[in-house]
Chains A and B, each alone.
Chain A
Amino acid sequence: MGFLIDSLVEGVRTLLHLDREILGVIGTTLRVAVSSTLLASAIGLPLGFLLATRSFRGKQFVLAGVKTALAVPTVIVALFVYGWIARNAPLGRLDLLFTPAAIVIGQTILIIPLLTALVYGVLAPNIRTIHEEAILLGAPPPAAFWKTITETRTGITTAVMTGFGRVASEIGISLMLGGNIKGVTRTATTAIALETGQGNYSRAIALGILLCILVLMINMAVQLRGRGERV
């Protein structure tokens, strides 16, 4: 117990004297996680919507496939992306390896199935009442799509924030595709692993606390904005 309390006290003390390096790490984490969450949302939301509105042969297999993809380890996603963006790989010309963009690509791929599955889960029960009603009232498909999303925004927001939490907390992709380069691709999780490995537990804890505080603030902001929804 003494260790935990000492480290926690030291961690809080570190928080009070935030250095540029810690702030940079948190900045990188946020930029990368927000980018990948938005990109994955732009793909996962329509996919979940399509799955909920259309019925087609083999839909059960697609759904099972999407849910299976939720269990794919981050390092496997990282290896897959590495196979595409390494210097001698098909996309090697873009020089993406060991850049923030590489992490964004990996994290986006990681959470597309998550968002698709969660959005499908939110929309499937409501699709009749909202979407078909909008279509019947003469709304064009894009407007009907947007109405469905906004009418279910509590669930959709939870889905998106779950995706955000997943990418902000993952380490396999950030470490392998980003390389934990100081000031460039060092994110909260790779920095925490590094500080822990070096025995700097208080800095690791300070980073952990800071990450939680920031995600809490983002969640509060999202929640306050979304007050008064119907579903």
Chain B
Amino acid sequence: MRGSQVPRAVVIALLACLPAMEGVALGSSRVLLATTTSAANSGLLDALLPAFERDTGVHVDYVAVGTGVALKYGENGDVDAVLTHDPEAELAFVRRKFGLARIPFMQSDFVILGPPSDAASIAGCRTAAEAFQRIAAKGAPFVSRGDSSGTHKREREIWRAAGIEPGGRWYVEIGQAMGTCLVMASERGAYTLGDRGTYLARQDALQIAILLEGDPALANSYSIIAVSPDRRPRGNHEGATRLIDWLLSPEGQSRIAGYRVKGRPLFLPVAPPEGKE
């Protein structure tokens, strides 16, 4: 290298720092949404958000994490809104004034999945708790999300209802997202609790089937909460509010109802009758 190349290296270095500049400019104009993985991995958000942006001109970026992490980001003021599915934790979030109001806007359900051979014979069970009791009694392998996600919280509730503290070699906690959890259950011929949306989206690549569905304990309600401006000064609170209004609007609700994976609807709209709290 010769001396004349020193300045050139400096210029290249400065040019390469451009992403940093771009990052700073990104900060205020977009709405930042922390979402449960199921709403993102099922493809729903990629179908809804471009339509929302066309209607309102507001751009939404989302980070897909478990419900627990999403609420943590909201509490720290790192995002403008959270999309989660853990009613108990959401109510606590609003009670502690981290968010303004919990707005349920769609629902789906959880299903108990397992190998078609169904070694613990849960297919005939009436309730989810009964199915979990049989799985534990048989010591049949069970894959748990183990990540404080909404799905994991629900799984814990069902174990509580079944009066069982799961543990032992048959029960594995993986600390990973729904998609990975389904793949692991499929690979190990194990049972798991999953959301219907993610399962249907991946069904082709999996060797597990829906063995139990329809128990009211498996209802899965999704809510969106605008993070309170106190927690997130300089945030895009207006954009978050418009997103919530749009999701509850006839346009938003009909797009949710119309979203299909392999011809099947995954989510039911639920505009709350009392409107926004």
* Per-residue contact bits, chain B 21-48, to A (CB 8 Å; 1 contact, 0 not): 1111011100010000000010000100
| Interface pair A38/B41, CB less than 8 Å apart | no
Give Cα A174 to B24, complex, Å: 17
For B23, B206, B231, the residue with the greatest tally of chain A CB atoms inside 10 Å of its CB is B23
Question: A35-B20, A98-B32 are known contacts; what are 9 more A-B pairs with Cβ within 8 Å?
Answer: A86-B78, A93-B234, A97-B78, A98-B78, A100-B19, A179-B63, A197-B177, A197-B180, A199-B204
Which A residue's beta carbon lies closest to that of B206?
A199
A55 lies within 8 A of chain B by Cβ = no
| Interface pair A184/B63, CB less than 8 Å apart | no
B76 touches which one: A38, A39, A86, A101 (CB < 8 A)?
A86
Label chain B's interface by main secondary structure. helix
Given the contacts A39-B13, A182-B46, A98 and B61 also touching, CB distance less than 8 Å = yes
Give Cα A42 to B206, complex, Å: 48
B137 lies within 8 A of chain A by Cβ = no
Give Cα A84 to B62, complex, Å: 21
Name 13 interchain pairs, CB-CB below 8 A, sorted by A.
A35-B19, A42-B13, A87-B77, A87-B232, A87-B235, A94-B24, A97-B78, A101-B21, A181-B63, A182-B61, A196-B180, A199-B202, A199-B205
Interface size on B, residues (CB 8 A): 41
| Interface pair B23/A181, CB less than 8 Å apart | no
B183 lies within 8 A of chain A by Cβ = yes
| Interface pair B63/A96, CB less than 8 Å apart | no
| Interface pair B76/A153, CB less than 8 Å apart | no
Residues of A within 8 A of B (CB): 31-32, 34-35, 38-39, 42, 86-88, 92-102, 104, 146, 150, 153, 179-182, 184, 196-199
| Interface pair A181/B61, CB less than 8 Å apart | yes
Across-interface contacts of B23 in A (CB, < 8 A) = 96, 99-102, 104
Given the contacts A38-B12, A181-B62, A99 and B26 also touching, CB distance less than 8 Å = yes
| Interface pair A98/B28, CB less than 8 Å apart | no
Across-interface contacts of B22 in A (CB, < 8 A) = 99-101
B87 lies within 8 A of chain A by Cβ = no
| Interface pair B205/A99, CB less than 8 Å apart | no
| Interface pair A198/B61, CB less than 8 Å apart | no
**B248 vs chain A, min Cβ distance (A):** 24
| Interface pair B16/A35, CB less than 8 Å apart | yes
* Per-residue contact bits, chain B 1-27, to A (CB 8 Å; 1 contact, 0 not): 101001000001100111111111011
| Interface pair B16/A199, CB less than 8 Å apart | no
Across-interface contacts of A184 in B (CB, < 8 A) = 26, 61
Given the contacts A86-B78, A95-B27, A101 and B183 also touching, CB distance less than 8 Å = no
Give Cα A98 to B22, complex, Å: 12
